[in-house]
Amino acid sequence: MAAPNIVNVTTITGKSATVDLSSTAATAVLSNAASSGKVFKVNSLVVANVDGSVAADITIGFYSQDDIGGTATEIVSTVSVPADASLVVIDKNSFLYLEEDRSLGATAGAANDLKVVVSYEEIS
Amino acid sequence: MSRKWPGSLITKTKVTPAGPLEGGAASGVWTLAEALQWTGKELWPIAGNTFTPVIFIAGTIKIAGVSGRAYTISQVNPSTTGNAADWADITTGLSLASNTPVGCSSSTRAVWGVTDVSPYDAIEYIDYSSGGTAAAFGDLLNNFNYTGVGALSSSTRGCWAGGDEASSQDVICYITLASTGNALDFGDPTVARYYMIGMASATRGLFCGGEGGGSKLTTVDYITIASTGNAIDFGDLLQVSLFGAGAANTVTAIVGGGSTNGGDSGIIDVIQERTIASTGDFTDFGDLSEALRGLAAASSSTRVLFSGGTTAASSANAPYLDVIQYVTIASAGNAVDFGDLLQPTTALASASAVQGNL
């Protein structure tokens, strides 16, 4: 099923998702399955460093397949998030569409320090 | 008060980033653009950026082939080897191009005198815990051109002596490193002179060599850092070392390079040493990688690092070195390669948070 034409959609649902980056491996933040018939408009993606004393690096990738498959194109790469700080990687001035069979992934420089909140519209 | 951000997020008040070390605080929610702005100012905390405790401060560099001033402070870890990394900046417009190192240090703060640009007597400092850009500390004693001043420090006091190519000052002044403010009178060196090299054990400071009264001197004075008073004769250098550099641990003073006559023909590669606790003359320790002047020296408890310098100061095409080399204080011998400065530099200063006498 193809992604919907967004001038003629039937449903727009606001959603949010959270991911705790408990390892330094790439972790799926948001995935749009192949043939979902949906497109996700990602309005914001915020990375918070919950460690109170040490900065941690974050890399956010736009993956060419769902479930962080295929090739990653970095939106930000090893950007340092200071202790007790949050970094706005995506906001409404730089939103992106996540089409079918695409995903967003996050890679932390340190385990258990970074948490990601993504807010998006599921359009079908 | 809350504020609305581009991502429609309501955030708490942001805290200005304190510095580029990974432990620096930067509470709040930041956009990538803001993060990049602070990164450009070298104040955004960087993961993995832990402070390595020997720093090399400013100096003279070649800019498009012409000598110019550097404002960068770089850092290395003296217990390993490797190239220097960018860490912080001195205040733009000031300079350390004095041909002698002028830095002092406690375990938490580096302090240096700004010597050859007006107002000549400025003192700047930077705390090892922060980085960023240096701040004003106070003024050196009197208001003369401190070019050629020598510096040393204990864990609590920093001292500068002599200086002034025109008038050979007989001044020793001091500061309390932990408290910003103007320097106070300490006493007088045994001979009024400039281009002295300073270093210290935990209790005793040495001011070595220099030039005064038309003579190139091997004179070494000592002071007891905790007690103000005039300097006392200690002994003599093995060789005159104008524009050389020195450092020490709790036991041994090391002096490297310099010029025996102040000119290019007298530049030497000699490293000389002396036990600080007993008065007497310096003896041969080893050689630098080549004959150098305008270098800097900093110590840990076991090593002295020499950095930068030039082989021919009077030449318009004088080559500046980016070499960092070191000696192991307990074992006399030649200096070996440590790594590279950010760029070829001469007339730089240095400081060490693990200075060998702390």
Range of the domain at A114: 12-123
Q: Which residues of B touch A87 (CB under 8 A)?
A: 29-32, 35
In this complex, is the C-beta atom of B46 within 8 Å of any C-beta atom belonging to chain A?
A: yes
Which helix (H) or strand (E) segment is B36 a member of? helix B32-40
For residue A86, which residues of chain B lie inside 8 Å, CB to CB?
11, 28-30
Domain tally for chain A?
1
Note whether residue A5 is domain-resident. Answer: no
B5–chain A nearest CA distance, Å: 9
CATH at A103: 2.60.120.340
What is the predicted pLDDT for the residue at B6? 45
- Tell me the average pLDDT across B103-125: 80
- B4 vs A88: CA distance, rounded Å: 13
**A89 contacts on B by Cβ (under 8 Å):** 32
pLDDT of residue B3: 38
Quote the mean pLDDT of chain A: 93
Lowest mean pLDDT among B54-58, B186-190, B199-203, B324-328: B54-58
Low-confidence ranges of chain A (pLDDT < 70): 1
Nearest-angstrom CA–CA distance, A96 and A43: 7
Longest dimension (CA), chain A: 49
pLDDT in tens, B227-278: 999 999 999 999 999 999 999 999 999 999 999 998 889 999 999 999 999 9
What pLDDT sits at residue B13? 75
Sign of CA dihedral B134, B295, B333, B153: negative
Per-residue model confidence (pLDDT) at position B130: 78
B1 pLDDT higher than 60:
no
pLDDT at residue B100 tops 60: no
A6 within some domain? no
Query: Cα dist. A109→A60, A71, A79, B114 in Å?
Result: 11, 20, 9, 40
Interface touch B25/A83, C-beta < 8 Å: yes
The predicted pLDDT at position B4 comes to 38
pLDDT tens for each residue of B268-322: 999 999 999 999 999 999 999 999 999 999 999 999 999 999 998 776 678 899 9
pLDDT in tens, B202-218: 999 999 999 998 899 99
Given an 8 Å threshold on Cβ–Cβ distance, is B7 in contact with A44? Answer: yes
Q: What is the mean pLDDT of chain B?
A: 85
Domain-embedded: residue A25: yes
Q: Which of A:16-45 have CB within 8 Å of B?
A: 43-44
In a domain, A17, yes or no: yes
| Residues shown for chain A | 124
* Residue B181 identity (one-letter amino acid): G
Task: Give the three-state DSSP class for B264.
Answer: helix
pLDDT at res. B8: 38
Residue A1 is assigned to a structural domain of this protein: no
Taken in order B125, B185, B225, B99, the sign of the CA dihedral is positive
Taking residues B217-223, what's their average pLDDT? 97
> Looking at the complex, does the CB of residue B226 fall below 8 Å from at least one CB of chain A?
no
Determine the residue of chain A that is closest to B43 in CA distance: A82
pLDDT over 90, % of chain B? 47
Q: Is residue A115 part of a domain?
A: yes
Model pLDDT for residues B130-185, shown as the tens digit of each residue: 777 888 898 888 765 667 788 999 999 999 998 776 777 888 999 999 999 999 99
CB of B45 less than 8 A from some CB of A: yes
- Predicted pLDDT of residue B101: 53
Q: Is the pLDDT of residue B2 over 60?
A: no
Give the pLDDT confidence score for residue A14 in this predicted structure: 95
